[in-house]
Chains A and B, each alone.
Chain A
Amino acid sequence: MYEFLIAPFVEFGFMQRALAGSLMLALGACPVGVFLMLRRMSLTGDAMAHAILPGAAAGFLLYGLQIVPMTIGGLIAGVIVALGAGAVSRFTVQREDASMAAFYLISLALGVLIVSLRGSSVDLMHVLFGTVLALNDDALTLIALISGLTLLTLAIFWRALVAECLDPLFLRSVSRLGTPVHFIFLGLVVLNLVGGFQALGTLLSVGLMMLPAAAARFWTARVEPMCVLAFGFGAISCIAGLLVSYHASLPSGPAIILSSGAIYLASILFGTRGVFNTKLRRHRHRTA
């Protein structure tokens, strides 16, 4: 048991780094995912993950596989797309889903174009799928900063964020925070995706954001426990994914996301608000 569960993390430095990095990532990304899901923007995370590609690719093209330029590039591309899509939906007749789709497609095409300038598809795989087992100090520091900043921002803007999700028109009638909070939130989404792409890649980092959140929805009907639970699921996925990847020599990113996927599927079936409890089991009913 010890051999299987604990030893890999004790004996190997790269496993410790991978664990620390992915857990910190889950700490920030999972609550953000909960709000994305509750705002019906689950696919926005996916779109944003594509959108940061040209920035990351430009950094990669200029400086090679280095965390800082790729992160800054990704951040710039992500913020441009988030601001652009957010502004179009806030100030024109178009809804956010359409504007987001338009902006991310432009961005993705640009990203693929930039990567192709360098040549090989192995490079593209690096950018898209990341390498959690090769996190260096820079990357770990970055992830720590991002998750700290995310938690701090969420704590400060919690009430406004909940109000903006629950009743946006009410928030507008009592405060001017509605629009700023929307953009701050989109900023957090970009930040966490960028933080995740070194470890998991642009495409998989959104998985760690959305899957635990989607799973947590099946267990509770309140926001605060949902965020905590999402982080719990995220953490379990990271540990399980890394162990599976270590023992079965599988790529770590997909292993982590597939672990979340397993938790999600189990939650659909067995969650307190899942299929078995709400649909299949015949409940007795009370008189009032």
Chain B
Amino acid sequence: MKPMTDACLTFKDLTLGYNSHPAVHHLSGSISSGSLTAVIGANGSGKSTLMKGIVGVLKPMAGICTVTPGKRVAYLPQQSELDRSFPARVVDLVSLGLWPRRGLLGRYSTEDRDAVSKALMAVGLEGFEKRAIDTLSGGQLQRALFARVLVQDADLILLDEPFNAVDAKTVGDLIQLIQRWHGESRTVLVVAHDLELVRAHFPHTLLLARRPVAWGETREVLRPENLLKARRFDEAWHDDAPWCEPDDGHGHAHSHAHGHDHAHSHTEGHGGHHHHDHGEVHDHPDHESGPRAA
């Protein structure tokens, strides 16, 4: 990982979740500008929650998540709330991406219209401008949503499972777009499931199992022992799980590059039943508690 100075995104002890149950637990670290990172993990491991936390749709339960000021964020959710029955054309949908530039009242200029048609061309949807969105196939809609991300011209791009239910050719095209963004020094975070794809195209990987299991170079992260550790993760919430008490002031130390277990020293007192890494091997029982090793 590059030094903190050119971080695009910083997590400090970030915990996100629902109804007081954590879905992302004590995540610390940073994403450097211009990096291309895959976020992987089982269903329910907190990948989408992390995306929502970054974009600000979900407020953290603890800790903070900071996008470096001045960086524009584009977010393509997994479960879009897009209303496909709404009477809009493809060009209307893609033009929504002009919002960060034009806002509520700014007029769309000729340049803006050019940007929209260029984006449509880049995703292979030229000639689709006037098509109603309810006539698009799943893959075509995904291409249109990528075009909207293109138009947003963001510095930090968050894509939540963009390859779901998309054919091989479209996946290839979308990967090319992601590579292009990476080439333009934009910071890209992609939630993905296909490990072969991750190995082939993503330099960095964050492996989540509610807590970060491993984070760093894809080659290192995707080692069998990490994947096994992630697979043992207990997806269920336990209503009798003990409360996760705040630390005694020295913060949670995670060396994200090595994927240490983060075991709070005091949780050993809970009879070994530790809700968020229930069933895990504690390979670092005496966890270091110094400053974060980034």
Which among B77, B88, B152 is the interface contact of A166 at CB below 8 angstroms? B88
| Whole-angstrom distance between the Cβ of B151 and the nearest chain A Cβ | 11
Query: Do B104 and A220 touch across chains, with their CB atoms under 8 A apart?
Result: no
1/0 contact string of B267-290 vs chain A (CB within 8 Å): 000000000000000000000000
Interface residues of A in 143-178 (CB under 8 A from B): 156-157, 159-160, 162-163, 165-175, 177
Does B55 touch A at the CB level, under 8 Å? Answer: yes
- Tell me whether A163 and B96 are in contact in the complex, defined as CB-CB below 8 angstroms, given that A169-B81, A220-B87 are known contacts: yes
Does A38 touch B at the CB level, under 8 Å? Answer: yes
Which among A166, A174, A220, A221 is the interface contact of B100 at CB below 8 angstroms? A174
Residue of B nearest to A38 (CB): B86
Please, which residues of chain B bring their CB within 8 A of the CB of A163? Answer: 96, 99
1/0 contact string of B97-135 vs chain A (CB within 8 Å): 001100111000000000000000000000000001000
Please, which residues of chain A bring their CB within 8 A of the CB of B93? Answer: 166-167
Query: Do B55 and A223 touch across chains, with their CB atoms under 8 A apart?
Result: no
Does B89 touch A at the CB level, under 8 Å? Answer: yes
Query: Do A173 and B73 touch across chains, with their CB atoms under 8 A apart?
Result: yes
The answer for the CA separation of A171 and B77 in the assembled complex, in Å, is 12
Query: Do B99 and A166 touch across chains, with their CB atoms under 8 A apart?
Result: no
The answer for the CA separation of A86 and B285 in the assembled complex, in Å, is 49
Does A282 touch B at the CB level, under 8 Å? Answer: no
Please, which residues of chain A bring their CB within 8 A of the CB of B57? Answer: 169, 172-173
Query: Do A166 and B96 touch across chains, with their CB atoms under 8 A apart?
Result: yes
The answer for the CA separation of A175 and B55 in the assembled complex, in Å, is 11
Query: Do A165 and B83 touch across chains, with their CB atoms under 8 A apart?
Result: yes
Query: Do B87 and A167 touch across chains, with their CB atoms under 8 A apart?
Result: no
- Tell me whether A156 and B132 are in contact in the complex, defined as CB-CB below 8 angstroms, given that A163-B99, A166-B82, A169-B81 are known contacts: no
Does A226 touch B at the CB level, under 8 Å? Answer: yes
Query: Do B99 and A174 touch across chains, with their CB atoms under 8 A apart?
Result: yes
Of B56, B57, B75, B104, most buried by chain A (CB within 10 Å of CB) is B104
Which among A156, A167, A172 is the interface contact of B83 at CB below 8 angstroms? A167
Does A286 touch B at the CB level, under 8 Å? Answer: no
Give the bracket for the number of chain B residues in contact with chain A: 20 to 34
Please, which residues of chain A bring their CB within 8 A of the CB of B75? Answer: 170, 173
The answer for the CA separation of A248 and B49 in the assembled complex, in Å, is 64
Which among A165, A169, A170 is the interface contact of B86 at CB below 8 angstroms? A165
1/0 contact string of A218-253 vs chain B (CB within 8 Å): 001111001000000000000000000000000000
Interface residues of B in 69-98 (CB under 8 A from A): 73-75, 77, 80-83, 86-89, 92-93, 96
Query: Do B81 and A175 touch across chains, with their CB atoms under 8 A apart?
Result: no
Which among B55, B103, B104, B132 is the interface contact of A221 at CB below 8 angstroms? B132
| Whole-angstrom distance between the Cβ of B279 and the nearest chain A Cβ | 31
Please, which residues of chain A bring their CB within 8 A of the CB of B87? Answer: 38, 220-223, 226
The answer for the CA separation of A173 and B88 in the assembled complex, in Å, is 20
Query: Do B83 and A166 touch across chains, with their CB atoms under 8 A apart?
Result: yes
1/0 contact string of B51-64 vs chain A (CB within 8 Å): 00001110000000
Query: Do A157 and B104 touch across chains, with their CB atoms under 8 A apart?
Result: yes
| Whole-angstrom distance between the Cβ of B136 and the nearest chain A Cβ | 13
Please, which residues of chain B bring their CB within 8 A of the CB of A175? Answer: 99, 103-104
The answer for the CA separation of A160 and B96 in the assembled complex, in Å, is 10
The answer for the CA separation of A162 and B91 in the assembled complex, in Å, is 13
Please, which residues of chain A bring their CB within 8 A of the CB of B89? Answer: 222
Residue of A nearest to B134 (CB): A221
Query: Do A156 and B105 touch across chains, with their CB atoms under 8 A apart?
Result: yes
Of A38, A170, A220, most buried by chain B (CB within 10 Å of CB) is A170
The answer for the CA separation of A160 and B152 in the assembled complex, in Å, is 16
The answer for the CA separation of A142 and B68 in the assembled complex, in Å, is 50
Residue of B nearest to A223 (CB): B87
Query: Do A166 and B92 touch across chains, with their CB atoms under 8 A apart?
Result: yes
- Tell me whether A167 and B96 are in contact in the complex, defined as CB-CB below 8 angstroms, given that A173-B75, A221-B87, A223-B87 are known contacts: yes
Task: Give chain A's interface residues, CB within 8 Å of chain B.
Answer: 38, 156-157, 159-160, 162-163, 165-175, 177, 220-223, 226
> Can you add 14 more A-B contacts, CB < 8 Å, to A163-B96, A175-B104?
A157-B104, A159-B105, A160-B104, A163-B99, A166-B83, A167-B83, A168-B81, A169-B57, A170-B148, A172-B57, A173-B55, A177-B104, A222-B87, A223-B87
5 pairs across A/B with beta carbons < 8 Å?
A: A156-B105, A157-B104, A173-B73, A173-B75, A221-B132
